[in-house]
Structures are given as C-alpha cells and as structure tokens.
Structure 1
C-alpha cells in the first residue's frame, strides 16, 4: 500500500479511534453492525417469545442500541474524549466475569483497538460505555485494562445471560 493510498484511506476518519467521520456509526460496532431487526426478532422467537414478547424485546433492543450509538456519536463528534466501561452496581451480580473485570477501564477515543473494546458485547450485555469529556481525559488519562485482560468476544448472546433469561426479565418488569 502506498503512502497516498493510506492517506486516502484515513481521509474519511477523524482522530477519534478510527470511528468514521461520516456514514453510519452502527457499521463501526462489531456486534451492532450484524444485528438487523429481523435477526433480533428471529432470535427472540427462537428463545420462545410470542409476538407480544417479541415486540417488547424489540422496543428494549431499540432503546439499548440507540444508547450505545449515542455514546459513539459523542465520541466521534468530540475528538479528545474517551470511553469509560461501566457495569452498574445493581447489575454486577448478574454480569459475566469478563464484563465485571472491565468496570472502570477508560480508553482514549484514539485507542488503536477501540472497536474491540466497545460494549455491548452481546444482546443483553450488562457492560456499557460512558463518554468521558476531553478535559477529564486530559487530567485523568486512560485507565487501561490490567495486563493480559482481553476484551470479551462480540457475540449474539451472552452465555452468562441467555436470551430466554433476558426475555423473562423483561416480561417480569412489565408485570407479565
């Protein structure tokens, strides 16, 4: 690859960890890029959900997806910021050990492998990202994962929280 090819390839990117400066942010997320509405609906059906439960799950999924993408949008639009990986206190008992180990990790938006560390790592994942302002990044800097810690694989369903369990939790929260 020539220097000109590399420059052209990087022209559509910002100094925000390789997130695209234009286009769909969902395409830069290793899991969310693979999840169409039809895939999510089919997963819910395969987990035993009826049409009403599938609809409830789709609403949950849409809100969850939009929250994840809103954080990426802020990161893309404010170079110099970062991401804090968080598992809320109430969720830690139910979260998988891989995600709990990531709690508190802060990555600069320019981290070279940012996409690999982007939660959610599966449907129903308890780990999420919070945007860290550039001023906080300048003062506190990164809090990198401990040596040897790898990001969880981005997969459709978490083995610690199967989709059938998530569906039951959603139904219970709706009084069903």
Structure 2
C-alpha cells in the first residue's frame, strides 16, 4: 500500500488543474496531501510503527492500516473537492455519537464553517491527530454564498496537529477497531 502521498487524486496524488492559480487557502500546485499538516508527515511505515508501539500484532496492524487508509482517503477527498471547486468551504464536524470521547478543543470547533480562501486554512484542517473525532465536510459554493462563513469564536485557536490524540490514544483506537468485527459477527448471528 502506498501512503507516501503518491497515487490517484483524492488519495494524495497529483490533482487535476493543479497548475492553475490558487483561489484560496490550498496551494495550486503539488500533491494535495502536502497541504495537510498531519497527513503530510504520515507514511505507511510511520503508521505501522505507531500501531506496533501501541501493542498491535500483525493482524491488528493490518486492520489499523485499512482504517487509516480509509480515514486518510476521506480527509483528502474533502480537500480535493475544495481545491477543485473555488468558492466552497469546509464545515468542521464532530458527530454527536463521538462528542463524549472527543477532546474539548475539537468539540468547540463543531459547526465552524471556513471559506476555502481562509488565509490560515491549513492550521484548521482536521483531522488533528490519528484517531481525531473532528472531520471536515465540503460546503457547496451556493451554501457559502447564502449562509457565509461561521468563524471560530474569538480567542479559539485550532488544536495542534499531533501524531496521536491525548483523548484517544492508539491503544484505545486499536481496541475499538478490534471490537468492530466482533460486533458485525454478533449482528449477523442475531439477524
């Protein structure tokens, strides 16, 4: 698996129209993954080593790598959409079911809508760590034109981009991932 930023659009590869003039907070050229402060630092080897250091065996590391690839792909797909559709924005979201386990900094960002032209957009890009409960949703240009930006409250700073979340360490995330196949099996037997 390639996780070094090479590949197809939405997976960190070169983006169509990458040479055009930037319309805002994302650079107009280069690999999309390089514009994200956390994802730019995470190679497949780094992610595998982090899982091993958290106590995962080879099967758990494989499960974690699958989770990481899907998580990374989803984050980059939102950025790709923002980069390819000038005038859009990003809505920061922490799902209701995740709010109890999310850090207070991420919960405070829920509902913030940033224009794609925000000058410091990279600092506000979730995920802020592996296991982060905060994610971004693309906001269509028409919605941005009507509703506008909903900026963070004064004084609120974006969380630092770290490898691991203090509220959801990798050992906890690995345990949660290990429960998913068991839950699916028990639901199959019930149905």
Q: Same fold (TM over 0.5)?
A: yes
- Pairing of 1:79-158 with structure 2 (within 5 A): 79-158=86-165
Gaps of 5+ in 2: 1-18, 184-191
Q: Match for 2:22 among 11, 14, 31? A: 14
- Indicate yes or no: 2:40 matched with 1:33: yes
- Is the CA contact (8 Å cut-off) linking 2:130 and 2:165 kept in structure 1? yes
- Indicate yes or no: 2:70 matched with 1:63: yes
Q: Match for 1:54 among 61, 81, 86? A: 61
Once superposed, what is the RMSD of the aligned Cα atoms? 1.2
Gaps of 5+ in 1: 1-10
Q: Which has the higher contact order (CA 8 A, sep 6+)?
A: 1
- Is the CA contact (8 Å cut-off) linking 1:107 and 1:143 kept in structure 2? yes
- Is the CA contact (8 Å cut-off) linking 2:98 and 2:133 kept in structure 1? yes
Task: Give distance in 1, aligned partners of 2:68 and 2:21.
Answer: 28
Task: Give distance in 2, aligned partners of 1:13 and 1:54.
Answer: 40
In the TM superposition, what whole-angstrom CA distance separates every residue of 1:58-110 from its partner, at most 9, and x where no partner exists?
00000000000000000000000000000001111111110000000000000
Residue equivalent to 1:160: 167
**TM-score, structure 1 as length reference:** 0.91
- Is the CA contact (8 Å cut-off) linking 1:80 and 1:108 kept in structure 2? yes
Task: Give distance in 2, aligned partners of 1:12 and 1:80.
Answer: 15
Task: Give distance in 2, aligned partners of 1:62 and 1:23.
Answer: 20
Q: Which runs of 4 or more aligned residues in structure 1 lie more than 3 Å from their structure 2 counterparts after TM superposition?
A: none
Task: Give distance in 1, aligned partners of 2:45 and 2:148.
Answer: 40
**TM-score, structure 2 as length reference:** 0.84
Task: Give distance in 2, aligned partners of 1:68 and 1:74.
Answer: 10
Task: Give distance in 2, aligned partners of 1:154 and 1:13.
Answer: 27
Matched positions, count: 165
Residue equivalent to 1:175: 182
